[in-house]
């Protein structure tokens, strides 16, 4: 998409929509990471610490 051709209103609306999607995605990622932590799945994958798992994945 060539955003240079968008009207001011379209650009602002699209940006607002993208920010909403990003926030939703971030919340979902955090929820998944919390469940991985709760289940200690990083241990099953031979990571000694959750931080190592989170950084590598």
DSSP string, 1-57: --GGGS-HHHHHHHHHHHHHHHHHHHHHHHHHHHHHHHHTHHHHTT-SSHHHHHHH-
The number of domains in the chain is 1
What is the structure's pLDDT at 21? 98
Q: Could you tell me how many residues make up the chain? A: 57
* Per-residue pLDDT tens over the stretch 2-57: 999 999 999 999 999 999 999 999 999 999 989 988 988 877 777 767 777 777 76
The answer to whether residues 3 and 11 touch, using CB atoms and an 8 Å cutoff, is yes
Judge whether 2 lies within some domain: no
Q: Is the pTM of this model over 0.75?
A: no
Q: Is residue 44 part of a domain?
A: yes
Question: CA-CA distance, 32 to 8, in Å (whole number)?
Answer: 36
The pLDDT, as a whole number, for residue 51 is 72
Residue 15 in domain: yes
Q: Note down the domain range covering 44.
A: 7-56
Looking at the domain assignment, is residue 34 inside a domain?
A: yes
Residue 1 counted as domain residue: no
């Amino acid at each position: 998409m060539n955003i240079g051709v968008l009207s001011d209103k379209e650009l602002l609306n699209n940006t607002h929509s993208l920010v909403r999607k990003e926030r939703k995605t971030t919340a979902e990622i955090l929820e998944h990471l919390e469940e991985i932590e709760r289940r200690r799945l990083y241990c099953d994958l031979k990571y000694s610490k959750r931080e190592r798992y989170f950084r590598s994945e």
